[in-house]
Amino acid sequence: MAKKQARTQGSGTPAIEVLTAAGVAHTLRPYTHDPRAVSYGLEAAEALGVAPARVFKTLVVDTATGGRPALAVGVVPVSRQLDLKAVAAALGAKRAVMADPAVASRSSGYVVGGISPLGQRTPLPTVIDVSARDHATVLVSAGRRGLDVELAPTDLAALLDATWAEISR
């Protein structure tokens, strides 16, 4: 298991604060972000020398059928795509669409490309793809572009009160 990482000067994000406060073992994995990168997650995997199947992206979806957004989060490997029908079913919703990026950013408190499932301004129902359980540790955004955090998928799920489902294709 990864060693517990102490908060370092200038690296604190709400995600890191959540991990530290909970005493969850984790390792910060910084890398140099290239603003020209097409895929933030694949960029992270390549820069950190980690298999893309272990790096997970945080995607905000909207399950509303009209009116106010009903936001939720799907966490899937960067090597795969979110299956909107599967995440809707896992959430008990009729449908799901990708949330507007501005709405996702406002709700989470993070910029797109740096949205972490942890420490979101508004905690949302979260579903993690079952493939995360295939790994001792996974990486997710630590709350900003160029910074991931590595932790056990079971710890991630526990902190988020998340459910597990096959939500990627």
Tell me which residue of 17, 28, 106 sits closest to 60, measured CA to CA.
106
Rounded to whole angstroms, how far apart are CA atoms 3 and 154? 16
Dig out the tokens for 121 from the structure: 């301004």
Question: Can you give the pTM of this predicted structure?
Answer: 0.90
The 10s digit of each residue's pLDDT in 130-155 is 999 999 999 999 999 999 999 999 99
Give the pLDDT of residue 10: 43
Q: Is the pLDDT of residue 52 over 70?
A: yes
Q: Provide the strand spans (E) within the chain.
A: 27-30, 56-62, 71-77, 97-98, 126-129, 138-144, 147-151, 163-165
Band the pLDDT of 11: cuts 50, 70, 90.
low
Give the pLDDT of residue 8: 39
Give the pLDDT of residue 74: 98
Band the pLDDT of 39: cuts 50, 70, 90.
confident
Calculate what percentage of the chain has a pLDDT beyond 90: 82
Rounded to whole angstroms, how far apart are CA atoms 163 and 110? 22
Instruction: List domains and CATH numbers for the chain.
Output: 28-165 (3.90.960.10)
